[in-house]
A and B are shown apart, each in its own frame.
Chain A
Amino acid sequence: MAIRRGRGVAAINYPTGMNLGGDPTQALVHSTPTGNFMVTLSSVDLGQGMKQIMAQICAETIGVPTDRVVVDTADTDTGPHCMGTFASRGTHRAGNAVIQAAREARQVMLEVAAEELEVNASDLETDGQGNILVKGAPQKSISIFDVALSAHFKRGRSISGRGMFLIPRSYPEKETGAMKPSTCYAHACTVAEVEVDDETGEVTVLTVKNVFEIGRALNPKMVEQQLVGGSWMGISHALYETTEPYYPNRDHGGTDFNQYLMPGPGDLAETEIIVLERPSADGPYGAKGPGEMCANPQIPAVANAVFDAVGVRIDTLPITPERILRALKAQAAN
């Protein structure tokens, strides 16, 4: 009886969005009288930080600092339609809608600035700090604060924009299954290293090294929080979680966190996250949806590592000590 070590690898891709149902999201953007910007959506922030990302996307597109953008969302009286936050679609779909709305608003903003500066709008650029400058002659400039005031009280212009992003529904062809099930794909490769106690069947995940390709890390810190959490969830799925431990038998289902097990702080693997960025052609600033993908590759990587350690295949999830011991017993009997 010994503690045995093994490692396993898995490589995956993951689709963004739900093309098989039709996939629309809308956004509205408008400026306040003093040149702050409101993004209005009905998309839901699940705690992953969608509001922050939409603010950064709007700020980048209009050319102002992120702290001048406020996101109002999840209210059906004010926000235009969004399919919902699922299918790794939030950032991709709503982000594209915000870009379109912000571009329209930016165009009006530049037109008002052009009137104030008596130049052509096409000769203007933003400095990202809240000012609009004449290209090549930056001493000739006006603040976005003053542009907004002018638009509201002098020029009678609404600095606003409408954004719509729609992936039309793809209907799978009946006989061949030809379809376009998603837009862009995120990618991952994970290597997991485990120790398996062949006396108790217990698995300890020592390290997970995850490489994720996500199009573009719009906010690297927020990407990190999602990818680390996903990696933990993948390990939990592989080794711990089930609402029906003896599926298809319905008995013994957990009803609280004492019975429904997940890895605690003492069970965390040493986690490494490496991000690659291949911008997607249709993503907001190249972003893909990594929200679901990041919890997948750890499951087979751990399963393969368990085999590498003790030479038994557990093809049923979760990979519990009971299943490992039964497999070891069967192996010894052969």
Chain B
Amino acid sequence: MELRKSYFADVRKDDLHEIGQPRPRSDSPGHVTGKTAFFADRNFPGMLHLKMVRSPHHHARIRSIDTSEAEKHPGVVRVLTAKDVPHNVNTILILIQIGPEDETVLADGKVRWKGEAVVAVLAETERAAQEAAAKVKVDYEVLPAVFDMEEALKPGAPLVNEYHGQNYYLYDSGECRKVRFGDVEAGFAGADHILEQSYQSSPIEHAPTETTGCVVTPEGNDRFTCYTNTQAMFFTLDNTSIILQMPGSKLHFVGGTVGGGFGGKVDVIVEPIAILGAKLTGRPVCFIYSREEEMQISSPRAAEKVVIKDGVMKDGRIVARKVTGYTDAGAYSRHSPYGAQKGAGHYPGPYTIPNVWIDTYCVYTNRTPSSAMRGFGVTIGDFALEVQMDKLARLIGMDPLEFRFINAYRDGDMKAHRQPTEGAALIECMQEASRAANWPVAEKFMAMSSYVKGV
């Protein structure tokens, strides 16, 4: 890595003692010698193991659940169903008033994705819990499912989630989050070229080294200590308090070093049910995802579809950009309504475009609920935007890097969401990339600056 100090030297004081120093990380020796303690290193006498019975269907009505054989299985201590969960229907962003509550801790009457938790089994050993889970009998009536976002948005599509009433999230702005800036149709009308293209991604996995999980122990003082690898301590505690209808003062969450998060450990899935198990049995409980659960059960990055329509002039100026983004939330909201609207705030990318129209939709389908991931609401948008930029440059016969200089935002430029640009540095990054990659651009671009003239 190289620090190029020549850029922005006039606005930076390099007079610090500790900041800017490449100090060795204090936790590295622990990591490389195996001494760092992770949550799963906690082991308590009498600890129970929790395993989930999961839906084999994408969408089904539950006619009945028979746990009698599982309860008789040697080593089984307790079997939990929906009726054991005090506040079973919840949603995590309710803490910031983003409802409705739309997801069950344990399925109640219906399953909406293949892998959904239906019954929790607590047993003396992992093996006994697994074997007993296989003995739970669930009678399902399979329902039509919908997997494709366009299909889901059509009238008459199977309804994924009754708590929403339609297969998209209803914002205060309607069926999508909207950004309107300038007059996009007038911009298209005056453009030399129009290019409309569609981009698609599929879900991906956070793939942390350490899978999601927690270890809970009931304390002598009627409190519960939860050792967890959540990325957000109080967010998880407060949601657990709601789900279990238990005062937050009864809960003590302890984290520590997490073996990789990437956004995959902010969904508050394992902690509430494990604490409930500890409360109902009076014994420590551990609930740790297998690698298979981490990959197919825990939330992935949402699949997205992005449609971009641009109006561009022969001289390289983009004069109008319309973006329609679709985020595949899967069966439940989790963080997806936030991600879709974060996308609305990110488009049209780091370019100054006078006419912009953005609609972002959060769509429900019968698949594993997606949620936050590194680059949430932005990564797939950047893929679409930057491939589109390449196509536009080639359409008008311009060098792709020079084309970006022409449109790059600079300090003071008004963004589509009506915030003036501050602290821009896109131009300087491109100038340095031009040098580093030996990709020459015209001298006038190398002379550009993100600064406002005269300031």
Contact = CB atoms under 8 A, between A and B. Distances in A.
Interface stretch (B9-17, B47-55, B126-134, B186-194): B9-17
Contacts of B254: 74-76
A155 interface: no
B4 A7 contact: no
- Which 6 A-B pairs rank lowest in CB-CB distance, beginning with the nearest? A84-B232, A74-B255, A181-B345, A177-B179, A300-B386, A247-B202
Q: Which of B3, B234, B430, B433 has the most CB of A within 10 A?
A: B433
Contacts of B27: 45, 49, 51-52
A295 B429 contact: no
Given A74-B233, A278-B7, A177 B1 contact: no
Contacts of B58: 250
Given A46-B231, A276-B4, A278-B423, A243 B21 contact: no
Contact of A216 (B20, B174, B341, B387): B20
B345 A179 contact: yes
Contacts of A152: none
B350 interface: yes
Contacts of A45: 27, 256-258
Contact of A191 (B17, B201, B437): B437
Nearest to A228: B1
A250 B330 CA distance: 11
Contacts of A280: 423
Interface string B413-444: 00011110011111011101100110100000
Nearest to A273: B1
Contacts of B391: 313
B291 A20 contact: no
A42 B296 CA distance: 30
Interface of A: 7-15, 18, 20-22, 42-47, 49, 51-52, 55-57, 59-60, 63, 65-66, 73-77, 79, 81-87, 128, 169, 172, 174-182, 184-185, 187-191, 209, 211-213, 215-224, 227-228, 230, 233, 237-238, 241-245, 247-250, 253-257, 260, 262, 272-281, 285-286, 291-293, 295-297, 299-301, 303-304, 307, 313, 315-318
Contacts of A213: 7, 425-426, 428-429
Nearest to B210: A47
Contact of A292 (B22, B375, B433): B375
A79 B256 CA distance: 12
A248 B305 CA distance: 11
Q: Do most interface residues of chain A lie in helix, strand or loop, or is the interface mixed?
A: loop
A315 B436 contact: no
Contacts of B350: 11-13, 185, 187
Q: Which of B179, B387, B430 has the most CB of A within 10 A?
A: B387
Given A249-B147, A315-B197, A256 B202 contact: no
28 contacts: A8-B400, A9-B400, A11-B386, A45-B27, A45-B257, A46-B261, A56-B18, A75-B252, A76-B253, A175-B173, A176-B418, A177-B344, A218-B19, A220-B21, A222-B25, A243-B300, A245-B202, A275-B3, A276-B8, A277-B5, A292-B379, A299-B379, A299-B386, A301-B386, A303-B390, A315-B387, A317-B200, A317-B380
Contact of A177 (B178, B342, B428): B178
A153 to B, nearest CB: 28
Contacts of A307: 390
A11 B346 contact: no
Nearest to B31: A47
Interface string B118-157: 0000000000000000000000000000011100000000
B386 A281 contact: no
Interface string B223-265: 0000000111111010000000000000111111111111100
Contact of A281 (B2, B387, B422): B422
Contacts of A9: 390, 400-401, 404, 433, 437, 439
A245 B200 CA distance: 12
Nearest to B429: A189
A247 B203 contact: yes
Q: Which of B255, B296, B303, B372 has the most CB of A within 10 A?
A: B255
Contact of B429 (A21, A79, A187, A223): A187
Given A176-B418, A255-B295, A281-B422, A248 B428 contact: no
Contacts of A285: 16, 19
B426 A292 contact: no
Contact of B349 (A13, A51, A262, A303): A13
A7 B295 contact: no
A178 B416 CA distance: 8
Given A10-B386, A20-B342, A176-B178, 14 more contacts: A9-B433, A13-B426, A52-B23, A56-B23, A86-B232, A176-B418, A189-B430, A220-B1, A243-B205, A243-B295, A277-B7, A295-B379, A300-B382, A313-B391
A133 to B, nearest CB: 14
B236 to A, nearest CB: 8
A172 to B, nearest CB: 6
A12 B382 contact: yes
Given A75-B254, A177-B358, A189-B432, A60 B19 contact: yes
A176 B181 contact: yes
A56 B21 CA distance: 9
A250 B252 contact: no
Given A11-B404, A274-B432, A248 B148 contact: yes
Contact of A181 (B200, B262, B346): B346
B367 interface: yes
Contacts of A301: 386
B114 interface: yes
Interface in B23-67: 23-27, 58
B200 A315 contact: yes
Contacts of B303: 244, 247-248
B408 interface: yes
Contacts of A175: 173, 178, 180
B3 A241 contact: no
Interface string B378-416: 111011111101110000000011001000110000001
A77 B342 CA distance: 32
B275 interface: no
B233 A84 contact: yes
B234 A300 contact: no
